[in-house]
Structure 1
Amino acid sequence: MDLSPWLVLLLSVLVKAFVISGDTNGGVDTGLTALAASWDTRPSNWVGINPCEDNWTGIICNGDRVTSIRLSSFGLTGTLSGDIQSLSELQYLDLSYNNGLHGSLPSSIGALSNLLSLILVGCSFSGEIPKEIGHLANLKFLSLNSNKFSGPIPASLGSLSNLYWLDLADNMLTGGLPIFDGTNPGLDNLTKTLHFHFGGNQLSGTIPFQILNSNMSLIHLLLENNNFSGSFPPTLGLVTGLEVLRLDNNHLLTGPIPANFNNLTQLEELHLANNKLTGPLPNLTGMNSLNFVDMSNNSFNASDVPAWLTTSKSLTSLYLENLNISGQLPQALFHIPVLQTLKLRGNHFNGTLNIGSDFSSQLDLIDLQDNQIEVYAVEGSQYKKKLILVGNPICTPENNQPYCTTTGQADQDMPPYTTAKNCSSLPPTCPSDQTLSPNCICAVPYKGTISFRSPSFSDLSNISHFTVLEQQMRSVFSENGILLDSVSINDPFFNTNNNLQMSLELFPSGKAQFSQQDISEVGFMLSNQSYKPPRGYGPYFFIGQDYSFANELVPSSKPKRTDRTPLISGVTVGGAILVAVVVAFVIIIVRRKRRPVQTEERSQPFDSWHIKSTSSSVPQLHGARVFTFVELKKITSNFSEANDIGNGSYGKVYRGTLPGGQLVAVKRSQQGSMQGSLEFRTEIELLSRVHHKNVVTLVGFCVDQGEQMLVYEYVPNGTLRDSLTGKSGVRLDWRRRLRVVLGAAKGVAYLHEHADPPIVHRDIKSSNVLLDDRLNAKVSDFGLSKPLGVDGRGNVTTQVKGTMGYLDPEYYMTQHLTQKSDVYSFGVLMLEVLTARKPLEHGRYVVREVKKAVADRASKDLCGLQELLDPVLAASPSAPAGLEQYVDLALQCVEEAGNDRPSMSDVVGEIERFVKMAGVGTGADSASGSLVSYGSRSPRHPYSGDSPFEHSAGALPSVRVEPH
C-alpha cells in the first residue's frame, strides 16, 4: 500500500494546525507587514498574508523570500522600521523619491547581509548615517543623496570592499573624509569604487592625500560646494583613470596645483572655480580629453596666455575668469572645432582680437568683458553670435557697436527649450488630470527633475543636446521592457551648483496612466542608474515626484500590542506535534521498500525544445552542439582564471580547448541566472542555421544545471571598435579597413539574402564585428535579430531595439523593421571606420557632422573631412584611394527614407568596385597574412563586452554602472 498520499495529507493538516496554534504567518510576510505598518499608507494591492504569492506591487521574491523592494515615487510617509532586519534575503531596497519618509535609519539595517543596493534618494531621512551599514559586505551600490543626513561620514564605509557607487551628495554632512588610521577603515580602502559623490554638504578640513592613490579606480570625484580647506591634494595626479573632477566652490582650498596633475590624461571635466588656489596657472598640456575647464576666481600667479590653450581639440567650454592672464589671444583658440563657450572676463588680455573666419561653428559666446583689448579685427570675420567687450579700451563712449553692450549681438531672449508637440491636426483637449504628450496623446506622465553634474557642453541653444537625450531615453527604457509613448524635456538651465537641471516627463505607451508596477520599474531604472545617458552628459541624479496613484494608497494597519503568552504556548504545542509527526514519517520511510528515485530535472527556459542536456534528446539545430556543464567545466580547466579572457555584466568569457584541439570561447552568464532567455534562445536559433565565413560560428550551447552558456569559435583579434580606438593593439590602415568593411558587408548581405528565412540583425555596430587572425571580419551578436517572412520582403512591426547612434530613424519613428534598417546602421559603421569616432560623442552625431562637412567643403581635398578624418588616415600624404566613392556610398546608406538606401548586395558590389581601385584584393588570401601589429598591447578579446541578453523584460536589472 502506498502511504505517501496519506502522509502528505496528515503533514498538511498538522502543519496548518501548528501555524494556527502559533497565531503567526512567520518569516518574510511578518517582516514586510511590520515594515509597512511603520508607514502611514501602503500600495493598494498589499493585501493578504503572503506578499510573494499575492504579487504585492514593488516586491520581488525568490520562492517565499523577499529579495527586492522597489517603491520609488509612491507617496509613502512615515519612518523605516527596525523590523527591516527580518528580511534576511533582501538584495535591493529602493524607497527613493518618497519625500514623506523621515526619521533616522535603523542600525538594524546592517543585518541585511545579502544587500547589494541601498537606494534612498530624495527622501527626508535625517540623523547620522548608521555605522552598521559598513557591515554590508556585499553592498555594491549605496545612494543616500538628497536627504537631510547630518554628522560625519562613517569610517566603517571603508569596509565595503565591493562598493563601486557611493553617493552621499546634497545632505548636511560635516567633518572630514575618513581614512584608514591603522585600526579603523577609511575611504582610501575603497579601491574598487568608481564614484565618490560628496558634493553639496558641509564637509571640512583638508582633503587627505591618502585618499587619492594609484590603487584607486575612481572615475568621478565630486567634492564641490563644501568647506574643504588647506592645500590642493598632491596625490591627485596618481588617480590616472579620473574622468570628472569637481572641487569648485570650496572657497578655502589653497596651495599650488602639483606638477603631476597633467598625468590625468583621461580627465574630461575639470571644475576648480571659486577657491584660493595659488602658484602658477596649471599646465594642462597632454590632457587631450578635456572638454570642460573652469578655473575661474582663484589666486594663481599672473601669467601670459598658456601654450596649452590651443592644443586641446576636444574643448567645448573654457572658463578662465579673473585670473590675471595677459597677452594677446591666439586666433587658433577660436578654431577649436567643438568650442561652444569662452568666458575670459576680468583678465589682462590685450592687443588685437582676431577671431578670423574659420572659427568653430558651435561657438555661441565669447565673453571678454573687463580686459585690455584695443582693436577688434572685424574685417574677414563672420562671427555674429554673442560677443561681449564691455570694459575694454575698444569700447569708448563713441563706440556703439553691439559688442560694447552686456547683451552682445545675439538673441538673448530666446525661450528655454521645450519638447515640441507633433500634432498632425488640431490637438485634443485633455482632462484636467492629464497632459498632452509630444505625440499629442492625453496621458498622465511620470514627472521629475533630472540634474547632470558635469555635462561636456555649455551651449543650451543647441537643441540637439535635448532631442538626442529624448530619443535615447525612450529607446533605453524600451529595451528594458518599459514602453514609452514619448519623453518630454522642459526648461533646461544651469543651476547655482553648476548642474544642468531640467524637468522630465515620461509618457506611457498605449494607455492613459502608468500602473503601480510600471512606476516601480521606471523609478528603479533612474534611481539605480540602470538608465545611462549618452556619453557627454556626465553623472546625473533624478528626483521624482509622487505619481498620481498616491491617492489610491490605503492606510496601513498598525499592529496592536497583545499578550504574547498564548502565542508562546501555541508555538510550543505546535512544535511538539510537528516533531512527533516528523519522527513518525522517518520511521515509515525507513520501513518502506526502497524504490529508484529519479532526480527532477532543473527547469530550463527552453522547455518547448525538450533539451535535457543529452545528445539523444536534442532537436536538430543545424550543427549547434549541446554541451553539458561537466564538459565545459573540463575544457576550461574548471573555469580557471588563466582561461578568463573577458567579462561583462552578464558574467565571464573563458577560453576552452575541445578534445579535437579546436579553440572556443565560452560565454557564461552569472551562475544560476536565467535573465535574457529570449535573446539567448534567439542567438542559438539563428546562429545554428547560418554558416558564412563573415558570420561568427556558434559551436554550441549549454542549459545544464542552472547554467546558461554560449560556445563560439575563438576569434583572437578583438572587435573592430577596439582596433579603431587602439585598445586591441591591431593597427588598421586604409586598405585593411576597406577589407574589414567589405567582409562585414558580405556577412550582413548573407543574412538578408541567403539565410532562410532572411534575418535582420538589428544591432550592426563596430563592437559587433570581430576580426580573426587574418583580419577577416565576422558579424556577431544575434540576440536582437529578427527573421523576416520567407521572401524577405515587407516589414515586421516590433518593439524598437538597437544601439543609439546606429539606430535607423525611420524604424525608430514607425517601429517597422526592414532590411534597410540594417543598411542604415551599416552606413553609420562605415563613417565610424572613416573617423574612428563613436557615432554619438560629446553631443555630436557623426552622420550629421559628415553630411555638413561634405556639403560645406571649400575644396575636394579629403572630401572636406579634414577635421573629421581619423588622424591615422589623415596623416597620409595623399587622399586614401577610393575615399570619395566610399563617403558617397556611406551617405547613401544613411538616407532618411529606407527606400532611398541601397540593398546590402548593392553595397557589397560598390565596395568591391572601389576596393579594387585601392589595389586591395577581396579574397581571404589577400589579407596581410598573420602580420598583425599589436604595438606594445596585448590583443583584447572580443567577447568581453556586455551580453545582448543581459536584461530581459521583467527581469531585475543588474546594478552594474558604466563610467558614463
Structure 2
Amino acid sequence: MSWRIHLFLLVVSVQVSVIAAWTDPLDYAALRALKDIWDNVPPNWAGTDPCGDGWSGISCINNRVVSITLASINLSGQLSSDITKLAELQTLDLSYNEGMTGPLPSTIGNLAKLTSLSLVGCGFSGQIPPSIGSLERLVDLSLNSNKFVGPIPPSIGNLSNLYWLDLADNQLSGPIPVSNGSTPGLDMLVKTQHFHFGNNQLSGEIPPKLFSSNLTLIHLLLENNQLTGSIPNTLGLVQKLEVVRLDRNSLSGPVPRNLNNLISVQELFLANNMLTGPLPNLTGMNSLNYVDLSNNSFDATEIPPWFSSLQSLTSLVMENTRIWGQLPVALFSPYQLQTVALKNNRINGTLDIGSSYSNQLQLIDLQNNSIVGFTLQAGYSVQIILVDNPICDGGSTQSFCSIPQQANSSYSTPAENCTPLPCTSNKISSPSCKCAYPYTGTLFFRAPSFSNYRNSSIFASLHFELMFTFRSHGVPVDSVSLSNPTKNLDDYLHVTLQIFPSGQDSFNHTGISEIAFMMSNQIFKPPPSFGPFFFIANSYPYLSDGAEGSKKSSNTGIIIGAAVGGTVLVLLLLLAGFYAFRQKKRAETASKKSDPFASWDPNTNSGGVPQLKGAKCFSFEELKRSTNNFSETNDVGSGGYGKVYRGILSNGQLVAIKRAQQGSMQGGLEFKTEIELLSRVHHKNVVSLVGFCFEHGEQMLVYEYIANGTLKDSLSGRSGIRLDWMRRLRIALGAARGVQYLHDLANPPIIHRDIKSNNILLDERLNAKVADFGLSKPMGESERGHVTTQVKGTMKGKYIVREVKQAMDMSKDMYNLQGVLDPIVASSMSPRSIEKFVDLSLRCVQESGVNRPTMSEVVKEIESIMEMAGLNPNAESASTSASYEDGSKGVNHPYSNESMFAYSGGYLPPKLEPK
C-alpha cells in the first residue's frame, strides 16, 4: 500500500505545482492585450499560462514576466501602454521588427524595474517621452535606427546607472541637453561609456558643460548632425575617450589646443566641418590609428612633425587641409600604416617613400598637389596616385598618372574543407557546405581602426568572435559567413552577415530571437580594431515552427494536471523495471569519470595511467566538435610539432589545441611523461595545460588560449599592442617569475631551454605567460644547482648580444644605446633604469652558467629596476588590453613554432637561460 500512497502524493504534488505555476493574472492580461494588437506573434502564444506554457520570447521568475525578447520575428503593431502593466519587467527587446511603429507610450516610465530597452531597427516614431528618465535602473538604452523626432529628453540625465546610450540614425533635433539648476542633462551620466548620436539633426553648439574629468565616456559619436560653434576645450578633460567622431557638422573656430591630452583616442574624425586656425597638434596621441581632418579651412601649414611621430597610424586622411611642403620619408614607416590620403593640398618636391615603408601600406593618394618627382623603389607594391601633379603633366603614361578603377572587396568566408553544394528553394550553401536558410543582415562598424578592407585575416578574427559568442551561449548556429566589406558615405564599414542554423535547414522563433538579442544588446563583442558597431537584420520568412499555434482552453491547468498524473503512474512502473539497469549504468559512468584514462592504450608501450593534476582527458570527438572538424578557419598556426587549432569547449572555454602530425608523434610513454610534467605546472605566469587526447592514433595537447598572442608579435608590431617601457618591464618581470617558478617551485623543477619572445605570451591584461615546453627538461635531485651551458632552442638570424655590445659605451648616457632602442619606448624610459636592465641582461647571457644569476636574483633585480623607474612591481596589469591596442591584431598564433624574429632594438632576450 505504501507505493500507492507515494504515488498519490506525487500526483497531487505535481498537480499543485502546475496550478501554482500559473502566470500572475495581471501579467497574463497585459500579454493578452499586447497579443491582440500585435500581428505575427509566435505560434505558441496560446492558452492562459504564458510562464507555464513557455510562450516564445517570454521569461518568468516566480510566475512574473521579467523579460520579453521578440527581436526579428516579423512582429508588427504598436507598443501600447499595456506594456506598463508588467510591473516586474526587466528586459524588453523588440529590435529588427520594421512593422513595429507609432510612438512609445508616455507611461513607459512606469516600468520601474526595466534595465534594458532595445528597439533597434524598428519603425517607431514621434518624440521620445520624457518619462523615460524615470527608468532609474536602466543600463542599456538602444533606440537607434528608428524614426524618432524632436529633442533628446533632458530627463535621460537622471539615468544614473546607464552604460549604453544609442540614439543614432533617427531624426532627432534641437540642442544636446545639459543640466541647469533643477533641470537634468546628459552631463550627469558619469557612468555612461557610449554616446551614440550620429546621423540625426541635432543643432546648436556642443555645450562645454557636457564634458568633465568625471566622465567615463569612451565613444563620442556626433557625426552627420547640424552642430555649430566651436569644439569646447572641456573635451580634453575626458581622459578615457577612445573614439571621437565630430565629422560632417558645421563646427567652426580653432581646434582646442589641449586635444592632444586625449592620449587614449584611437580614432579621430573631424572632417567636413568649417574649422579654422592652426592645424591641430596631435603630438603625443600615440594610440591614434585613424585620423581624418579633411575638408576644413585650417591655416596654411607646413607638413607638421607629428605626421611622422604617430607610430600606431593605419590611416592618415587629410584632404583639402592646405598643408604644404615635402613629405618626409619617415611618414611611410609606421609598421601598421595602410593608407595615406592627402589629395587637394600643396605638397611639393619629390615623393620618396624610402625602402623601409610599412609592409601593410596599400594606398598613397596625392592627387592635385605640386609634386615634381618620384623616387621609384624597385618592386614597390603600393598603389600611388599622382594625377594632377606636375610630374604627370605632358601626358605621362606612368601607372601613377592615372586613376585606377575602384575595386570592390570580393572577400567572402571560405568553405571549411568542403565543396559548396548546389542548393534549391532559395537555400544557400553554408561555409560547412550544408544547404539552409540563413538569417541575414548587415554589420555596421562606426569607426574601424583600419582601412584595408581586403585583409582576410581581419575578417577571420571577426568570424571567430561571432562563432565563439554563439557557441559559448548555446545558440543553435552551425556556421557564419561574412562578405562584401564596403565603406559607405558615413565612413562606416558595412559587412554582410549570414548566420546558418544547426541541425535543421531553418531557425525557429526562439533561435532567431536569441541571435537577434545577442546582436542588439551588444552581447557579441567584435575584435577591438572594429570599434563600435550596430546590426540591422533582414526579414526572416523561413521560421521552422510555422505561423499557427495550437489552441489551448482555459482549463489547461486541470488537463495538464490529470495528464501528468497518469504519466507519472506509467513512468513509475517503467522505472521499477529499469531501476537496476540504470543503477548499473550510473555506476559505470561514475567509474569512468573517476578514471578518465581507462581508454589509455596498453598495447602501445604507453606505461600506466598518467598521474595528472587538474588536466582532463578529452575524447577525439570532443576536440573535433570544438574545432568544427579541425576546419581551416580555426587553423591558427603550425610548426615542427604539427598544427594548432583554436577551439571552444562545451563549457564555452576558449582553448588552443596542438595536434601532432604523424611524423612528429612521440611514443606513448614519452607522451604520457610530457603531460604528467605539464599538468603539474600551475602559476599565473605559465601557460596552463587544460588536457590532452590520446585516441584514434592522435596526440593532442589542449592549452588555455592566451588572447594577445606572443611578445614577438607585439614587439614587431603585428599584434597592434603598444609596449612602452613600463609595460615591457612588467612583462619582463612576469616572464622572470614564471621561469623562477619552473626552476624553484615546480615538482620536479623544470629547465625550459627555449626562452624567447615567441614563447612568452600576453593575456588580456598583458600579463606575461611562459609557454611551449617542447624542450623542457625536468631536474632530478642530482641536477639541482647545475644548469648545462649547451645551447638549445631556436638560433637567431642576427646575434643581438653582439649587436648591443658593439654599440654600447658605458661612459655615456644610457650606454650610448639610443640608436638601437625602440623609438616607441625611447621617450618613456628612465635612463638609469635602462642601464640597470642592460647590466642584468648581459649577466643573463654569460656563456658560463656559474656567471649567470639565478632566476630568483633576476626577479629581485627587475623589481628593483621598476621601483627605480617609479613603478610598483606588485601592481596589477591593465584591466584590459584594449587601451594598448594600435589596430588590427596579427594572424600569427601564440602557440605556433615560428623562428625568432629578426633583431628589433630595445628588446634584450637572453641567449641562455639563467640558473
Q: TM-score, normalised by structure 1?
A: 0.63
Q: Matches of 1:342 and 1:184 in 2, distance apart?
A: 46
Aligned to 1:213: 212
For 2:45, the aligned partner's letter is W
Q: Residue 417 of structure 1 is aligned with which of 411, 420, 423?
A: 411
Q: Matches of 1:249 and 1:341 in 2, distance apart?
A: 21
Query: Does structure 2 retain, via aligned residues, the 8 Å contact 1:730–1:932?
Result: no
Aligned to 2:736: 739
> What is the CA-CA distance between 1:236 and the residue it aligns to?
1.2
Q: Structure 1, residues 903-937: CA drift from partner, whole Å, max 9, x if none?
A: xxxxxxxx999996993414589644974735556
> What is the CA-CA distance between 1:881 and the residue it aligns to?
11
> What is the CA-CA distance between 1:62 and the residue it aligns to?
1.2
Query: Does structure 2 retain, via aligned residues, the 8 Å contact 1:770–1:942?
Result: no
After TM superposition, the structure 1 = structure 2 runs for residues 283-682 of structure 1, keeping only pairs within 5 Å, are: 283-378=281-376, 380-407=377-404, 412-413=406-407, 415-425=409-419, 427-482=420-475, 484-550=477-543, 554=547
For 1:133, the aligned partner's letter is I
Q: Residue 852 of structure 2 is aligned with which of 893, 913, 919?
A: 919
SS in 1 for 2:390: coil
Q: Matches of 1:138 and 1:61 in 2, distance apart?
A: 19
1:84 paired with 2:83, answer: yes
1:32 paired with 2:35, answer: no
After TM superposition, the structure 1 = structure 2 runs for residues 171-250 of structure 1, keeping only pairs within 5 Å, are: 171-250=170-249
Aligned to 2:47: 48
Q: Matches of 1:926 and 1:143 in 2, distance apart?
A: 49
Aligned to 2:683: 694
Query: Does structure 2 retain, via aligned residues, the 8 Å contact 1:434–1:443?
Result: yes
Aligned to 2:617: none
Q: Structure 1, residues 302-347: CA drift from partner, whole Å, max 9, x if none?
A: 1111111100000111111111111111111011211111110111
Q: Matches of 1:386 and 1:267 in 2, distance apart?
A: 28
Query: Does structure 1 retain, via aligned residues, the 8 Å contact 2:124–2:147?
Result: yes
Q: Matches of 1:694 and 1:19 in 2, distance apart?
A: 48
Query: Does structure 1 retain, via aligned residues, the 8 Å contact 2:723–2:825?
Result: no
Q: Matches of 1:309 and 1:384 in 2, distance apart?
A: 22
Query: Does structure 2 retain, via aligned residues, the 8 Å contact 1:442–1:512?
Result: yes
> What is the CA-CA distance between 1:464 and the residue it aligns to?
1.7
For 2:385, the aligned partner's letter is I
Q: Closer, same or farther in 2 for the Cα pair 1:767/1:492, shift >3 Å? A: closer
Q: Closer, same or farther in 2 for the Cα pair 1:556/1:728, shift >3 Å? A: farther
SS in 1 for 2:514: helix
Q: Matches of 2:480 and 2:773 in 1, distance apart?
A: 24
Q: Structure 1, residues 357-405: CA drift from partner, whole Å, max 9, x if none?
A: 1111111111111101111112x45423211111111112242111111
Q: Matches of 2:9 and 2:729 in 1, distance apart?
A: 72
Q: Matches of 1:414 and 1:381 in 2, distance apart?
A: 27
Aligned to 2:563: none
Q: Matches of 2:727 and 2:838 in 1, distance apart?
A: 19
Q: Structure 1, residues 134-162: CA drift from partner, whole Å, max 9, x if none?
A: 00001011000000000111111011111
For 1:694, the aligned partner's letter is H
Query: Does structure 2 retain, via aligned residues, the 8 Å contact 1:460–1:492?
Result: yes
For 2:456, the aligned partner's letter is I
> What is the CA-CA distance between 1:210 and the residue it aligns to?
0.8
Q: Matches of 1:15 and 1:439 in 2, distance apart?
A: 44
Q: Closer, same or farther in 2 for the Cα pair 1:468/1:751, shift >3 Å? A: farther
After TM superposition, the structure 1 = structure 2 runs for residues 813-828 of structure 1, keeping only pairs within 5 Å, are: 823=772
Query: Does structure 2 retain, via aligned residues, the 8 Å contact 1:197–1:221?
Result: yes
For 1:477, the aligned partner's letter is F
For 1:154, the aligned partner's letter is P
After TM superposition, the structure 1 = structure 2 runs for residues 124-139 of structure 1, keeping only pairs within 5 Å, are: 124-139=123-138
Q: Matches of 1:16 and 1:523 in 2, distance apart?
A: 31
Query: Does structure 2 retain, via aligned residues, the 8 Å contact 1:448–1:545?
Result: yes
Query: Does structure 1 retain, via aligned residues, the 8 Å contact 2:863–2:873?
Result: no
Q: Matches of 1:288 and 1:435 in 2, distance apart?
A: 45
Q: Matches of 2:264 and 2:745 in 1, distance apart?
A: 35
Q: Closer, same or farther in 2 for the Cα pair 1:677/1:507, shift >3 Å? A: closer
Q: Matches of 2:296 and 2:732 in 1, distance apart?
A: 51
How many residues in Structure 1 have an aligned counterpart in Structure 2?
A: 693
Q: Matches of 2:40 and 2:861 in 1, distance apart?
A: 70
Aligned to 2:640: none
Q: Closer, same or farther in 2 for the Cα pair 1:825/1:361, shift >3 Å? A: farther
Which segment drifts farther, 207-216 or 449-458?
207-216
Q: Structure 1, residues 71-127: CA drift from partner, whole Å, max 9, x if none?
A: 111110111121111111111111111111101111221111111110000000000
After TM superposition, the structure 1 = structure 2 runs for residues 130-169 of structure 1, keeping only pairs within 5 Å, are: 130-169=129-168
Q: Structure 1, residues 480-521: CA drift from partner, whole Å, max 9, x if none?
A: 223533221111111111100111012233433333222222
Which segment drifts farther, 362-371 or 505-514?
505-514
SS in 2 for 1:69: strand
Q: Matches of 1:47 and 1:322 in 2, distance apart?
A: 63
Query: Does structure 1 retain, via aligned residues, the 8 Å contact 2:363–2:383?
Result: yes
Q: Closer, same or farther in 2 for the Cα pair 1:867/1:110, shift >3 Å? A: same
Aligned to 1:105: 104
Q: Closer, same or farther in 2 for the Cα pair 1:480/1:150, shift >3 Å? A: same
Q: Structure 1, residues 452-488: CA drift from partner, whole Å, max 9, x if none?
A: 0000001122222212211222123222223533221
After TM superposition, the structure 1 = structure 2 runs for residues 252-263 of structure 1, keeping only pairs within 5 Å, are: 252-263=250-261
Q: Matches of 1:441 and 1:210 in 2, distance apart?
A: 56
Q: Matches of 2:434 and 2:382 in 1, distance apart?
A: 37
Q: Matches of 2:300 and 2:862 in 1, distance apart?
A: 58
Query: Does structure 2 retain, via aligned residues, the 8 Å contact 1:730–1:933?
Result: no
Q: Matches of 1:390 and 1:356 in 2, distance apart?
A: 21
Q: Closer, same or farther in 2 for the Cα pair 1:291/1:423, shift >3 Å? A: same
Q: TM-score, normalised by structure 2?
A: 0.66
SS in 1 for 2:515: helix
Query: Does structure 1 retain, via aligned residues, the 8 Å contact 2:294–2:320?
Result: yes
For 2:854, the aligned partner's letter is G
Q: Closer, same or farther in 2 for the Cα pair 1:7/1:183, shift >3 Å? A: farther
> What is the CA-CA distance between 1:177 and the residue it aligns to?
0.4
> What is the CA-CA distance between 1:443 and the residue it aligns to?
2.0
SS in 2 for 1:109: helix
After TM superposition, the structure 1 = structure 2 runs for residues 877-896 of structure 1, keeping only pairs within 5 Å, are: none
> What is the CA-CA distance between 1:354 and the residue it aligns to?
0.9
Aligned to 1:279: 277
Q: Matches of 1:373 and 1:858 in 2, distance apart?
A: 41
For 1:523, the aligned partner's letter is A
Q: Closer, same or farther in 2 for the Cα pair 1:186/1:437, shift >3 Å? A: same
> What is the CA-CA distance between 1:430 and the residue it aligns to?
2.1
SS in 2 for 1:933: helix
Q: Matches of 1:767 and 1:381 in 2, distance apart?
A: 40
For 1:391, the aligned partner's letter is D
Q: Closer, same or farther in 2 for the Cα pair 1:328/1:61, shift >3 Å? A: same
Q: Matches of 2:417 and 2:742 in 1, distance apart?
A: 39
Q: Structure 1, residues 826-875: CA drift from partner, whole Å, max 9, x if none?
A: 99xxxxxxxxxxxxxxxxxxxxxxx9x9899999969x998799779999
SS in 1 for 2:506: coil
Aligned to 2:646: none
Query: Does structure 1 retain, via aligned residues, the 8 Å contact 2:475–2:515?
Result: yes
